Amino acid sequence: MKSRKLCSALLVLALIMPVSLFAAEPQHISPEKFREYASLPMGTMRYSEFLGVTEGKAFVAVNEMSSSGSKQWSRTVYWVESEMLDPKLLQQLAKPKQ
């Protein structure tokens, strides 16, 4: 169990580190905004990726296509305290999308 948590934390850090090198630090948001961002549909000019939970924080990245070109994307990472979210939501987000 402990190694699973460590592995999960390292995975989230690996996903966030490249983002933080080129973008602003992850931004704190409300649980309502987190749920809104986490449920963005795929196939639009804006979509989200659940990055995971580490150190009591849940992370989601929002990717947006530039209106000036489809090859230009911006990525913003948001976080919220995981205790503020329904555990069932976190379990659902952690499942691989099909």
State the alpha helices, DSSP H only, in the chain. 2-22, 31-38, 87-94
3-state secondary structure of 10: helix
Cα–Cα nearest to 57, from 35, 33, 28, 89: 28
> For the segment 55-97, what is each residue's pLDDT rounded down to a tens digit?
999 999 999 888 877 678 899 999 999 999 999 999 999 987 6
**Which strands make up the sheet holding 57-66, listed edge to edge?**
27-28, 69-81, 57-66, 46-54
pLDDT at 11: 63
pTM: 0.71
